[in-house]
Amino acid sequence: MSYKIRNSIALGVIILLVSIVGIYVTVFYQPKQIEKNTKEAQKIAAQLQDNTEQMTSIGQMQGRLRETLHRWNNRIKEISESDVSSQTYGYLSDIVGESGAQQLKMNLTLVGGRDAGTIGYNTYKINGTSEFPNILRFIWLLENGRKLYKVTNITIRSEELGGDSLEFPLIQLAYEMDLNAYYTREKNLAMSVMRPDSTPQPITANPFQPSILQKTPANVRNLVDVDKLSVKATANGKALVMTEEGKLVTLQVGDEVYLGKVTGIVPQLGAVDFTLNDGGIVTTRRKSINFEKNTKDRER
């Protein structure tokens, strides 16, 4: 066999082997590797996606943890480990003193309670009398104080106090409320907290103050009573009047009388004008010289 034929056969065998290997790699091996790599890539992508979600969840939990710790460290309420009537009465008395409502009368009665295991509360009924600003400050400090006490029900009735000893009648309120005093067996919740630095807003209105009083204010300063005087003379912006007791008094515009003031003097008519405020009812009155009576007095 010639050298040329042998080389041709060897070259053909080599080409055949290369073709077989190429076909195997192209048709079988590479597709399998591509499929394997694709699955691996998808698995890695899924893991990365899962890790991203986990990191997001971890970030959210860390945010909640920071918020919870902030709220815990800055809490303004503490729950006592136990509750007894004397303890609650002492705390309420401190609130009365802090509110400046020393005239607030308070009666405390234990009426029941509930023990839910870790946390429970005793229910008290509180009643008494005071004025509106005192009651409002007391309730505000009770709700916003450091201990967990909650008002669940409140009833207020107003009463007008007058009489001969008060120039301006007082509106006294009789109040009755139900109060829950909480306690806990969880010692961490009973840890002392910082005192709240907030204060109640100034009271600018009293919803229980009536526009018109039921009782007429008392004449505690013994001012001239318009209903019980008689005008004797008027001249030069002044008027001479006589009280029921027979006392002569000189009045001029602006002088104070019982329930009002002198608002005008009319010498030509022998009259004196008054503006009176009887517990919210404002009226104008004119008192004049009774010439007919004076004439009869002179005839006698």
Q: What is the mean pLDDT of each run of 10 residues along the chain (300 residues)?
A: 71 76 74 81 78 82 82 72 86 80 81 87 91 86 84 90 71 90 81 65 79 82 92 90 92 93 92 92 92 52
Residue 160 near residue 213 (C-beta atoms within 8 A): yes
Q: Spell out the domain ranges in the chain.
A: 1-74, 85-190, 226-299
* Residue 252: alpha-carbon gap to chain centroid: 49
In Å, how far are 14, 72, 76, 267 from 63, measured between CA atoms? 69, 14, 21, 85
Question: How high is the pLDDT of residue 161?
Answer: 76
Question: How high is the pLDDT of residue 122?
Answer: 93
Give CA–CA dist 244/297, Å, rounded.
17
Give CA–CA dist 143/154, Å, rounded.
13
Compute the chain's Rg from CA coordinates.
47
Give CA–CA dist 213/168, Å, rounded.
10
Nearest to 113 by CA among 93, 87, 83, 142: 83
Check: pTM over 0.75? Answer yes or no: no
Question: How high is the pLDDT of residue 298?
Answer: 43
Give CA–CA dist 124/126, Å, rounded.
6
Q: What CATH number is given for 85-190 in this structure?
A: 3.30.70.60
